Chain A
């Protein structure tokens, strides 16, 4: 019996919008086990959102998903017809988006929007549907659920709207939820509420979750495992506590070192020099090579593959591949 609900093998998403097509996501492989929360982190443009859209089958032309397979419960999603995919989407796999104001429909009341997927997938009607929706609203912690049912998105606060989004995603009891930056637009105290709610619901229903974020703090609090992406590639993966406490890839190290730390007195922050390269400048070698302090000649010519560092933790760096070691422990020096 396979314990993974989702297995992604060599997923590649190409956009043909420029003269030279580029791969926003370039042959990445990962899996999500049943009941676990996988965090995907990375900076803007690293391909984390494209990954989630590819799984959902929502990449629009000029984008095109290729790759070996995206296996959900043994079914290869890449081979499904549009119709079959529609049956899964919102029913078995659902998504929570970042900006609840733009992803909710302003001209329907929230009750109808939550009920829509119940209508489509579960064929619930009338009173029965309304009862289920009110019940969902209560589950996501919305007070006066019967009243809020008839409210429109603009009448609700950001936190409430995100709760509605969660209710929509939860409506059909999906087995996998993909949350794309679900708390980025929210204030810290509201973010704490929403994360708490998501953890609670996940534990209660035994769902699996993919949480996409740029906030390592959120990952550290919510996720079990973690995938770090850089320029369309996975550079490191492993259990959250392993990766965050002893990162192996120089990029993960640099990212962690750049965070301002509580109670630290240092005047200067560490940082990674330079910036994320544009897809046209990705070159042949390791895409982090021009910002990496441990760069070797091999890094410019060949791409390193994910290699085991310890049980469950893998890193795509020539230091690991060739010499079986992590990047040295002195964090990236602050240079000006």
Chain B
């Protein structure tokens, strides 16, 4: 696995996100005049290499799901460039996007809501191939059986409906559906958050096995730091629409730089932590993205806030090799 990654040219990115913004307008009055905007994603840039897993962590409302939707273009970006293997997705026509979308697939959080309850598993898995006109009928059916086996389900399950499955099994079907078209990038939006611990471990293992087998690239969105640490190669921490820290997993968890990352790591309750750690409890709530604070968005809750933080927003700079942080402490 690691060997494979090294073989790939270091500069060859599968996904490049440059200065992407998504503002949702807030309209008021008779003429729907735009009064403000919710800056759900505000000037975010990152790259992903083939075969890697980028974890995106952050609290609710930080823009992580919006980011996913922008990449797959379920939402149109207000500004910025999203490139898949060098091709700019934001300028494609709807028709072109539809044919490109087969390269990016998504696994959703809630396996109960994201499968059609009236369709059999077989139909759910056949649909993408039918849409893209892949293979003959019998080839498609073979592929369904093959995929079911790959995700650890019995091939006899093909004729069943979603309600006949448990949460973990449904998530396996969701993963199989994402794999049908051999995508280049899989975006998994909280894929294990709705599952019980023992089942969660099964699904994470499955995702890692499949990644190894097919050299898949994952963008793994989660709010659970321990899951993120387990599965990711690199991690981006988001707060109020911006990336505040982006680093290799080991760097981020052993030496977090941004005060928010620090607080997030210390806030996660741990089983049997060997040392009773000094917990940083952040004051207050996450501010509304419609009215983000001036300067650094985190300054209202930051334990090491300085004067400059209240006026000027910090930029994302490389502090250590491979570790980027947006904080005035390190500028």
Contact = CB atoms under 8 A, between A and B. Distances in A.
A196 B281 CA distance: 9
A62 B81 CA distance: 57
A245 B197 contact: no
Contacts of B28: none
A269 B285 contact: no
A258 B197 contact: yes
Contact of B271 (A187, A190, A216): A216
B124 to A, nearest CB: 21
A312 interface: no
A281 to B, nearest CB: 12
Interface string A214-240: 111111110000000000000000000
A271 interface: yes
B253 A187 contact: no
A270 B201 contact: yes
B197 A189 contact: no
A255 B197 contact: yes
Interface residues of A, number: 46
A254 B198 contact: yes
B59 interface: yes
B199 A269 contact: no
A193 B282 contact: yes
B104 to A, nearest CB: 25
A204 to B, nearest CB: 17
Interface residues on B, range: 35 or more
A191 B225 CA distance: 14
A171 interface: no
B67 to A, nearest CB: 17
Given A258-B201, A268-B208, A271-B205, A187 B60 contact: yes
Contact of B205 (A215, A221, A259, A268): A268
A33 interface: no
Nearest to B202: A271
Interface stretch (B128-136, B139-147, B183-191, B261-269): B261-269
Given A187-B59, A262-B253, A220 B271 contact: yes
A265 to B, nearest CB: 9
A256 B266 CA distance: 20
B198 A255 contact: yes
A221 B272 CA distance: 9
Contacts of B205: 268-269, 271, 334, 336
A162 B198 CA distance: 28
A270 B273 CA distance: 19
Interface string A236-268: 000000001100000000111011111110011
Contact of B253 (A159, A214, A263): A263
A268 B204 CA distance: 8
Contacts, number: 116
Interface in B237-261: 253-254
Nearest to B200: A258
Interface stretch (B36-44, B94-102, B226-234, B308-316): B226-234
Contact of A260 (B59, B60, B229, B263): B229
Contact of B282 (A189, A259, A271, A334): A189
Contact of A262 (B198, B209, B226, B264): B226
B285 A190 contact: yes
Contacts of A256: 271
A67 B226 CA distance: 40
A259 B271 contact: yes
A196 B167 CA distance: 32
A334 B204 CA distance: 12
A176 to B, nearest CB: 23
A264 B254 CA distance: 12
B197 A214 contact: yes
A179 to B, nearest CB: 15
B260 to A, nearest CB: 9
A244 B272 contact: yes
B285 A217 contact: no
B279 to A, nearest CB: 6
B201 A271 contact: yes
A189 B264 CA distance: 6
A219 B166 CA distance: 26
Contacts of A107: none
A214 B198 CA distance: 11
Interface in B259-300: 263-264, 266-273, 279, 281-283, 285-286
A166 B167 CA distance: 31
B307 interface: no
B73 interface: no
Given A254-B198, A258-B197, A260-B226, A217 B269 contact: yes
A31 B272 CA distance: 24
Contact of A43 (B197, B253, B281, B282): B197
A217 B224 CA distance: 12
Interface string B195-229: 01111111011001100000000000001011101
Interface of B: 59-60, 166-169, 196-202, 204-205, 208-209, 223, 225-227, 229-231, 253-254, 263-264, 266-273, 279, 281-283, 285-286
6 contacts: A193-B283, A216-B197, A244-B272, A258-B200, A260-B226, A262-B270
Interface of A: 43-44, 157-160, 187-193, 195-196, 214-221, 244-245, 254-256, 258-264, 267-273, 275-276, 334, 336
